[in-house]
Amino acid sequence: MILAITGGSGFVGGRVLALAKAPVRALMRRPQEERAGAEWVIGDLADTAALARLCAGADTVIHIAGVVSAPDRSGFDAGNVAGTAAVLAAAGGKRFVHVSSLAAREPRLSMYGASKAAAETLVAASDGDWVIVRPPAVYGPGDREMVDIYRLAAKGLAVAPPGRISVMHVDDLARALLALTGGGPSRVTLEIDDGSGGLSHAEFARAVGAGIGRQPVIVPLPVAAVGLAARLGISAKLTRDRAAYIAHPDWTARGGNAALAGIWTPQVTLADGIAGTVADYRARGWI
């Protein structure tokens, strides 16, 4: 089996490459160091010739690449909608494992979620053997999206919007995607997580604090305050688009783990996953 992967140089894609046992062909924007069993295809989602080389002779395509931050809807659509359409066309009906987001469940909340939902519609309308995976908040070594939570916890503080979230370690997500390349559910959308059933933002912050060795003071962040913080530009990561997403009360995964019983189950507990993430962040000098 040959796996074709987009987003191989990213946080999730890098772990898929590291854990893959089959030969891998990965789309990269720039040349990478040589790796046994891996072939780099230089290009991006707008490069149809590169996508054709990526998918030629592959048995399964794992589409991970996408845009998580953009100034306007066109920026999200270019990467997430047009990019997905281009990869689907190059895949030509091969087994297609599409990495979406829980944000696609509520497309009216954010431009990001709307673009991911539109991409899902393209995948679901295709004639091939596809599966859509909606991960929750993904954490682990090397992740830059959640590092501010750890930095704040290291100072003994945490902010907690209302609502509940699901999380999962990046290695568990990578193993799920790889398990789906060999079979499993087809033509379905799966929401998967770490198996815990979800937790509040405050509970996650306390878990991060425990991993660091602190008991952070939890500062509740009302929904109105989330939007105000975005408008004031308090954090570059807290855009107005993300504020609406963060303020939503329910970002817990629904039922996908059971659909994968027999081929995959989460292995990394929250405590172990956070401990490994903290060790990595400290080694990098991030906290």
Q: For residue 80, is pLDDT > 70?
A: yes
pLDDT value of residue 121:
98
pLDDT value of residue 246:
75
pLDDT value of residue 31:
82
To the nearest whole percent, how much of the chain has pLDDT over 90? 80
The CA-based angle 130-134-138, given to 5 degrees, is: 135
Strands 164-165 and 199-200: antiparallel
pLDDT value of residue 229:
52
In a domain, 273, yes or no: no
Encode pLDDT of 97-128 as tens digits: 999 999 999 999 999 999 999 999 999 999 99
Look over the chain and give the mean of its residue pLDDT values, rounded to a whole number.
92
Encode pLDDT of 215-250 as tens digits: 999 988 765 655 555 554 545 565 666 767 777 889
pLDDT value of residue 43:
96
* Domain carrying residue 34: 1-134
| Mean pLDDT on 193-197 | 94
pLDDT value of residue 259:
96
In a domain, 111, yes or no: yes
Q: For residue 200, is pLDDT > 60?
A: yes
Question: Which has more confidence, 64 or 223?
Answer: 64
pLDDT value of residue 103:
96
In a domain, 249, yes or no: no
Q: Which position has the token pair 């072939």?
A: 39
In a domain, 178, yes or no: no
In a domain, 184, yes or no: no
To the nearest whole percent, how much of the chain has pLDDT over 70? 93
Cα–Cα distance, 272 to 274 (Å, whole number): 6
Answer whether 61's CB lies under 8 Å from 87's CB. Answer: yes
- Domain CATH for 109: 3.40.50.720
HEC per residue, the chain: CCEEEECCCCHHHHHHHHHCCCCEEEEECCCCCCCCCEEEEECCCCCHHHHHHHHCCCCEEEECCCCCCCCCHHHHHHHHHHHHHHHHHHHCCCEEEEECCHHHHCCCCCHHHHHHHHHHHHHHHCCCCEEEEECCEEECCCCCCCHHHHHHHHCCEEEECCCEECEEEHHHHHHHHHHHHCCCCCCEEEECCCCCCCEEHHHHHHHHHHHHCCCCEEEECCHHHHHHHHHHCCCCCCCHHHHHHHCCCEECCCCHHHHCCCCCCCCCCHHHHHHHHHHHHHHHCCC
In a domain, 280, yes or no: no
In a domain, 108, yes or no: yes
How many folded domains does the chain comprise?
1
- pTM recorded for the entire structure: 0.93
Encode pLDDT of 39-63 as tens digits: 999 999 999 999 999 999 999 999 9
Phi, psi (deg, nearest 5) at residue 87 = -70, -40
In a domain, 93, yes or no: yes
Q: How confident is the model at residue 189 (pLDDT cuts 50, 70, 90)?
A: very high
Encode pLDDT of 13-23 as tens digits: 999 999 999 99
